[in-house]
Amino acid sequence: MTFKEQIQEGIPSVLPQPKPYDPTINHAPKRKEILSAEEKKLALRNALRYFEPQHHAELAKEFADELEKYGRIYMYRFRPDYEMYARPISEYPGKSEQAKAIMLMIQNNLDYAVAQHPHELITYGGNGAVFQNWAQYRLVMKYLSEMTEEQTLVMYSGHPMGLFPSHKDAPRVVVTNGMMIPNYSKPDDWEKFNALGVTQYGQMTAGSYMYIGPQGIVHGTTITVMNGGRKISKNGEGLEGKVFVTSGLGGMSGAQPKAGNIAGCITVCAEVNPKAVHTRHSQGWVDEVVTDTDALVKRVLEAKANKEVVSIAYQGNIVDVWEKFDEENIYIDLGSDQTSLHNPWAGGYYPAGISFEESNRLMAEEPETFREKVQETLRRHAAAINKHTAKGTYFFDYGNAFLLEASRAGADIMAENGIDFKYPSYVQDIMGPMCFDYGFGPFRWVCASGKPEDLAKTDAIALNILEEMSTTAPAEIKQQMQDNIKWIKGAQENKLVVGSQARILYADAEGRIKIAEAFNQAIAKGEIGYVVLGRDHHDVSGTDSPYRETSNIYDGSRFTADMAIHNVIGDSFRGATWVSIHNGGGVGWGEVINGGFGMVLDGSSDASRRLESMLFWDVNNGIARRGWARNEGAVFAIKRAMEVQPLLKVTIPNMVDDALLG
């Protein structure tokens, strides 16, 4: 069968042969035992409903074995034989070009070079899934190959509910992931209901088909490190010779070494998983690998003396680095952490002093012991950080729930008032006031042709727009504009592409609209192929996350989720090609609601109309909310937006003299 025929087949009527477990692939850890005997039967019943009854006897035993061995039913037998990567849009079967673009994005999320655990359909973050099992993948691709512009595919946490009649301006796909009744959103609820096969953790861009590899976060990480450097800078000096210590080399955290190189510092990034270290080193995202703390100390001292720009992966536990650097009195200028602490009990964070293999065994077989060891390590981790900050280190939480989980473990991490943390979130100190309040966030695009030359052309178009905008930009956003120009100028030489021909660029609403319209015009002229627009959910208005994206909201509303819900509803009727809303992405199940979109540009006047309407709302919805919270930059930005668009009328807060409040 050809590739197109395999896509159109969906779930095969003749069972494919079982596939051997491939130990060379980075697999998800075994999930802990959580289902009762009756619930295991329900999980099997749920899985078997995808298949014709004559196959149930054979598959029931196989699926029961998977549930026992891995804690989940992945349906490995149904993993396709073809290579998984983002093909040019022309290679996909279908009646709708928009649907073909979505197939391209789904396969990019599952590309072995992109996905963290590709055989378990997990893109990043340890549990950020595109689908729960391979039957869902096959059904979705079949539905997309059949879809017309008068239908919408409805997705329930990885399960394709089906194609429903709609219209050409409706989204082609509507995605929800993990949307739970609030009282059922604890970590163990995810374990249980995911094992039952009825929900999944979509992370942010995993379950919304918009992940573009570590590049997806590298721009934001670069901005964060650069602005962190500016906060500690004396007399405008740069980051040359300064040390940035962090951890995590997974799907999102793997961007950190590259960002450190672009920002111009010495980056030390610890990672316990040897396969993750190898992947990032082989892809050129980290320069060197060290496995011994003495050798690491020697190498860092050498780099400091020579003011090198270098990134070093330490294959081991981050706690060993913080403690060793304290013993050797190595000064750390910037410190953070990007382990997946939204998922602390299932592979997101590993205990010190225990091997990677033994940790995985404990996780599955002795979960309470594993939990105790993780919390013990978090206390050590925080104590070591405290020693360094006492010497002057600037430490920030990278929105991965490090401070939250450390506090729950009883670490010395709380401020004197007993309410706040000792250290700020990077959104509180950097991204919120410097970027999100002004509408700057992670706009991204993918060239559906798969041609590197198309990506180069889009880079040039975006650079031209930015340079033109910077000449008239107000003083309040001059720095942001210059940072973006520097970024896009270096995008090609920094070799950021992993998987699809994609780019990320922090831009405001005006920049996003102008760049998108310029792309659409270039498509109309035949200069480039179709372009898929999107963004990280980690943006101005897509996400309500009290310890990250909305951590700089101080009017008491940071625990509400109206903004994210309004965002996805508004995007739906303003022209998005697909929309998504998730529970749990980034900082943990039950801790955040986040939404995203995808939009296909085809050079048409319809695309031009949609992009202007949707992108304006997608950003200004969040600015309006941030402005109402009395954030100074957001008040400035929303007033400016009202000047540009007369139909926009936003409620502006009146400021109160605190002296009147007693």
Tens digit of pLDDT for each residue in 230-241?
888 887 788 999
Is residue 187 within 8 Å of 181, Cβ to Cβ? no
Q: What is the 3-state secondary structure (H, E, C) of 226-253?
A: HHHHHHHCCCCCCCCCCEEEEECCCCCH
pLDDT 10s digits, 131-169: 999 999 999 999 999 999 999 999 999 999 999 999 999
In this structure, the answer to whether residues 166 and 97 fall within a common structural domain is yes
pLDDT reading at 251 higher than 80? no
569 burial (CB, 10 Å; 0-12 / 13-18 / 19+) is: middle
In this structure, the answer to whether residues 231 and 121 fall within a common structural domain is no
Boundary residue ending a domain (398, 424, 450): 424
Q: How far, in Å, CA of 488 to CA of 507, rounded? A: 11
State the total domains in the chain. Answer: 3
Residue with tokens 């030359």: 453
Mean pLDDT, rounded, for 530-552: 94
417: in domain: yes
In this structure, the answer to whether residues 420 and 441 fall within a common structural domain is no
Backbone angles phi, psi at 534, to 5 degrees: -170, -165
In this structure, the answer to whether residues 479 and 460 fall within a common structural domain is yes
Element containing residue 615 per DSSP (H, E): helix 605-628
User: Which CATH number does the domain housing residue 289 bear?
Assistant: 3.40.50.10730
pLDDT reading at 349 higher than 90? yes
Element containing residue 606 per DSSP (H, E): helix 605-628
pLDDT reading at 41 higher than 80? yes
Is residue 597 within 8 Å of 571, Cβ to Cβ? yes
Residue with tokens 């061995």: 69
The annotated binding site for NAD(+) is made up of: 125-126, 203, 271, 398, 586
The annotated binding site is made up of: 125-126, 203, 271, 398, 586
Is residue 599 within 8 Å of 575, Cβ to Cβ? yes
Is residue 401 within 8 Å of 427, Cβ to Cβ? no
In this structure, the answer to whether residues 361 and 219 fall within a common structural domain is yes
pLDDT of residue 219: 84
227: in domain: yes
- DSSP string covering 37-53, please? HHHHHHHHHHHHTTS-G
Q: How many helices (H) and strands (E) does the chain have?
A: 22, 17
In this structure, the answer to whether residues 593 and 483 fall within a common structural domain is yes
**532 CB-near residues (< 8 Å, 6+ apart):** 101, 104, 105, 445, 446, 448, 577, 598, 599, 600, 601
Boundary residue ending a domain (146, 163, 196): 196
pLDDT 10s digits, 464-507: 999 999 999 999 999 999 989 988 988 888 888 888 999 999 99
User: Which CATH number does the domain housing residue 52 bear?
Assistant: 3.40.1770.10
657: in domain: no
In this structure, the answer to whether residues 415 and 459 fall within a common structural domain is no
In this structure, the answer to whether residues 560 and 467 fall within a common structural domain is yes
* Residue 165 CB coordination number (10 Å): 9
pLDDT reading at 526 higher than 90? yes
Q: Give the bridge partners for 288, in sequence order.
A: 312
pLDDT of residue 399: 74
pLDDT reading at 330 higher than 90? yes
In this structure, the answer to whether residues 116 and 20 fall within a common structural domain is yes
Q: Give the bridge partners for 122, in sequence order.
A: 117, 129
pLDDT of residue 238: 85
pLDDT reading at 535 higher than 80? yes
- DSSP string covering 374-442, please? HHHHHHHHHHHHHHHHTTT-EE-B-SSSHHHHHHHTT-S-B-TTSSSBSS-BHIIIIIHHHTGGGT-EE
**565 CB-near residues (< 8 Å, 6+ apart):** 581, 593, 595
Is residue 605 within 8 Å of 514, Cβ to Cβ? no
Element containing residue 334 per DSSP (H, E): strand 334-335
381: in domain: yes
User: How far from chain centre, in Å, is Cα 519?
Assistant: 25
In this structure, the answer to whether residues 156 and 287 fall within a common structural domain is no
In this structure, the answer to whether residues 471 and 564 fall within a common structural domain is yes
Q: How far, in Å, CA of 370 to CA of 361, rounded? A: 9
208: in domain: no
Q: Roughly what angle, to the nearest 10 degrees, separates helices 293-306 and 318-327?
A: 60
660: in domain: no
Residue 283: pLDDT band by 50, 70, 90 thresholds?
A: confident
Mean pLDDT, rounded, for 513-520: 98
Boundary residue ending a domain (379, 407, 424): 424
Q: In the structure encoding, which two tokens stand for residue 23, read together?
A: 């130990």
662: in domain: no
Is residue 177 within 8 Å of 580, Cβ to Cβ? yes
pLDDT of residue 401: 82
Mean pLDDT, rounded, for 84-98: 97
Which residues constitute the domain of residue 95?
3-196
Is residue 530 within 8 Å of 602, Cβ to Cβ? yes
502: in domain: yes
In this structure, the answer to whether residues 171 and 249 fall within a common structural domain is no
pLDDT 10s digits, 184-199: 999 899 999 999 999 9
pLDDT 10s digits, 429-443: 888 998 999 999 999
